[in-house]
Amino acid sequence: MDLPAVGLGTMGVADSAAIETAIEAGYRHLDTAQIYENERVVGDGIAAADTDREALTVATKLWIDRLAADDVRPGTEASLDRLGLDSVDLLYVHRPRGGYDAETTLPALEAVRDDGLTDAVGLSNFEPAQLDAAREYLDDIAAHQVEFHPYFWREALLADAQRHGYPLVAYSPLAGGQVFDDPTIRAVAEKHDTTAAAVSIAWVLSHDNVVTIPKASSRAHLEANLAAAALELDAEDIERIDGIEREEELFPE
Ligand SMILES: NC(=O)c1ccc[n+]([C@@H]2O[C@H](COP(=O)([O-])OP(=O)(O)OC[C@H]3O[C@@H](n4cnc5c(N)ncnc54)[C@H](OP(=O)(O)O)[C@@H]3O)[C@@H](O)[C@H]2O)c1
């Protein structure tokens, strides 16, 4: 799947004007989920923006209580109804838990994809072994969305994405804001005369096959995060950030 380097995370966005502003600022990949309870907000923002639907990649995620095979189709239809769309571009399994069973859930997702309710099926928060098991029942993993920031990322998941050639969608690239006070990241930011937010996003994007979806509400943050894709860190910067010892998983199982 061809995703732009920086898309929009919408968890906690409750105002459709922020979505409209993001699209107008240039965001083309919008990421929501049933559990964020804002699919209607995202749909209203898309409807209000002066941009063709075809220019946008809209992604949502089936929550764990909609993953039993019989729940996949009605769950997907309910999301489309809230979004006000005929189809999404990417439909994820949010977590391999609850009603998830690779053997039955994934064929049900392929069926809604084959019927045009989504263009592609993605996975989120899978372990390497769960990706291998998923490949037995899903012909194409279009993307894998995982937590990825200087305090937490998984080499094995990156390697799987690179080996199989699908994008790893890095969520919480700013560690929910925690990187802003990090002395190492601040020092690299100072060197490039930019912000810690930009450095964290650029560090995430320095990995092959990785795109990201920072969440932002204000126009200034939205524009700054898009622009961060152009920031080039050198090998020394990357090494310094790789060397940060703090480990913090924000969304453990
Ligand atoms: N698949 C999953 O299980 C999963 C789990 C968690 C998150 N996600 C996705 O990933 C997205 C992003 O993750 P996240 O929301 O946890 O955190 P994040 O993107 O790491 O950080 C968002 C925070 O940083 C602030 N911010 C953004 N840009 C900034 C800038 N340029 N300067 C200063 N502050 C800035 C935002 O404030 P403002 O809003 O005030 O701009 C917000 O408080 C979510 O919205 C969601 O779509 C997926």
Q: What is the pLDDT of residues 41-78, one digit of tens each?
A: 999 999 999 999 999 999 999 999 999 999 999 999 99
Q: What's residue 213's pLDDT?
A: 98
Distance (angstroms) between ligand 1 centre and the Cα of 68 equals: 29
Residue nearest to atom 26 of ligand 1 (CA): 216
- Which amino acid would we find at residue 95? R
CB 153 within 8 A of CB 247: no
Cβ 18 under 6 angstroms from ligand 1:
no
Q: What is the pLDDT of residues 112-158, one digit of tens each?
A: 999 999 999 999 999 999 999 999 999 999 999 999 999 999 999 99
Question: What percent of the chain is modeled with pLDDT above 90?
Answer: 100
Q: What is the pLDDT of residues 167-206, one digit of tens each?
A: 999 999 999 999 999 999 999 999 999 999 999 999 999 9
pLDDT confidence band for 253 (50 / 70 / 90): confident
Residue 17 has pLDDT above 90, yes or no: yes
Q: What is the pLDDT of residue 154?
A: 96
Give the pLDDT of residue 36. 98
Average pLDDT along the chain: 98
CA distance 195 to 92: 32
* Confidence (pLDDT) at 230: 98
Q: Closest ligand 1 atom to the C-alpha of 175?
A: 20
User: Would residue 166 show up in a list of annotated catalytic residues for this protein?
Assistant: no
In DSSP notation, 162-230 reads: HHHT--EEEE-TTGGGGGGG-HHHHHHHHHTTS-HHHHHHHHHHTSTTEEE--B--SHHHHHHHHHGGG
Q: What is the pLDDT of residues 219-229, one digit of tens each?
A: 999 999 999 99
SS3 (DSSP) at 121: strand
- Kindly report the CATH class assigned to 8-242: alpha beta
Any idea how long the chain is?
253
Burial of 13 (0-12, 13-18, 19+ CB in 10 A): buried
C-alpha dihedral over 187, 190, 196, 198, to 10 degrees?
A: -130
CA of 247 to the centre of ligand 1 (A): 18
Nearest CA to ligand 1 atom 19: 214
Domain regions of the chain by residue span: 8-242
Q: Mutation test of ligand 1: which of 3, 11, 125 has the most ligand atoms closer than 8 Å to its C-beta?
A: 11
